[in-house]
Amino acid sequence: MSYLEYTVKSVPTGFRKILHLNWPLALLLVSVCGIGFLMLYSVAGGSFSPWAEPQMKRFALGLAIMMAVAMVPIWFWRNLSGVAYGVSLILLVLVALIGEARKGSQRWLDLGFMDLQPSELMKITLVMFLAAYYDWLPAKKVSRPFWVLLPVLIIFLPTALVLEQPDLGTSILLLTAGAGLMFLAGVHWAYFAVVIAAGVGLVTAVFQSRGTSWQLLNNYQYRRIDTFLDPAAEPLGAGYHITQSKIALGSGGWTGRGFMQGTQSRLNFLPEKHTDFIFTTLAEEFGFVGAISLLGIYALIILFCVVTAIRNKDRFSSLLTLGIALNFFLYFAVNMSMVMGMAPVVGVPLPLVSYGGSAMLVLLLAFGLVQSAHVHRPR
């Protein structure tokens, strides 16, 4: 069913739209942000500055954006998705040319009133554009090689630009979210099987060739891979952080040390304690109960998204909702795995909890789209 078939009468209008919002989802999001404020207040040593207060201001702005986006009919956003993708791509190119470099990577654009990270925007607009693409594409063409190659290009272009910054974490997220969307849209299994097999083959070849006459990479490149996979090999780098992060997490126990009672000093060594490693503070102060609760809220958010997506008969809406949910999932899955020593440190924040403007605004905007899809669903 396409949006042209909507019976306009059954779609709520004006302020009645507010009643039709997915309120449980909105409340879950607000509660995650609330946990974020608590943690930022705590890591600052019981102070609203320097992190909690600006984060709350951005949240207020983000909430307003979410509501505004939700009020606009989803077909408007659908028609805009091509433009949105194009603009994000141009911004990424601009970042490469005139972006601001921090900590050795060039990710930010100075807009005057705020610093924008276009790669964050791209996470959403890529999903939007792919959803619109598969909405437009007749179902029988979905698995034809040409129509598979096209979205692959759509994904690779921004991924390459982000990898160039360099920002490994975000490019992995983009790639995975894009592939996930293609999977959801119904691209044939065989494509995924071939790509996975080729990937496994390549990785095996790279490692097998080490030390032989046909070695594929330089020695120093191998050493870099080594440190990436086994951070403990670099005692002062990532390995140190992971060890300390695990200690803090583990020492939380069942119920934790209590709010503001975490041995903050022990975490002060972490340069990213208010961003990428904020989960360790939560887990230390609120223990297993707190950590599993946050995971539970995240799970509920995913669940609500999946359910509304399946119920929604509009193809663009459901693809978009699922794509955004997948994106959100990737954020916290990668972050938590990293903090708990299950994955290499790549620098992905904990969504809606970690300090950071672009990520929060973009996520709330994305959930605004989810709400719009829900409000304007065909009935």
Q: Kindly list the residues in this chain that would bind another protein in the complex (CB under 8 A).
A: 1-2, 4-5, 136, 138-140, 180, 183-186, 235-236, 240, 243-244, 246-254, 263, 265-266, 268-269, 283, 287-288, 291-292, 295, 298-299, 302-303, 306, 309-310, 313, 315, 318-319, 322, 325-326, 329, 333, 336-337, 340, 342
Nearer to another protein, 121 or 284 (CB): 284
Nearer to another protein, 136 or 207 (CB): 136
Task: Tell me the C-alpha distance between 165 and 96, whole Å.
Answer: 7
**Min. distance of Cβ 130 from another protein in angstroms?**
13
Tell me if 122 sits within 8 A of 158, measured CB to CB.
Answer: yes
**Min. distance of Cβ 158 from another protein in angstroms?**
22
- CA 240: distance to chain centroid? 26
Nearer to another protein, 20 or 266 (CB): 266
Tell me if 240 sits within 8 A of 271, measured CB to CB.
Answer: no
Tell me if 355 sits within 8 A of 35, measured CB to CB.
Answer: no
109, β-bridge pairs: 116
Nearer to another protein, 120 or 135 (CB): 135
Nearer to another protein, 88 or 308 (CB): 308
**Min. distance of Cβ 16 from another protein in angstroms?**
27
Query: Can you say whether the dihedral through the CA atoms of 63, 68, 70, 75 is positive or negative?
Result: negative
**Min. distance of Cβ 256 from another protein in angstroms?**
9
Contacts from 9-18 at CB under 8 Å and sequence distance 24+? 10/378, 10/379, 11/73, 11/375, 11/376, 11/378, 11/379, 12/375, 17/70, 17/71, 17/375
Task: Please work out, in degrees rounded to the nearest 5, the angle formed at the alpha carbon of residue 130 by the alpha carbons of 27 and 349.
Answer: 45
**Min. distance of Cβ 304 from another protein in angstroms?**
11
Task: Tell me the C-alpha distance between 286 and 257, whole Å.
Answer: 6
- CA 155: distance to chain centroid? 15
**Min. distance of Cβ 343 from another protein in angstroms?**
11
**Min. distance of Cβ 281 from another protein in angstroms?**
13
Nearer to another protein, 121 or 301 (CB): 301
Task: Tell me the C-alpha distance between 139 and 113, whole Å.
Answer: 44
100: nearest Cα among 90, 114, 89: 114
- Output the six-digit token pair for 197: 């097999």
Nearer to another protein, 79 or 268 (CB): 268
**Min. distance of Cβ 142 from another protein in angstroms?**
8
Nearer to another protein, 40 or 283 (CB): 283
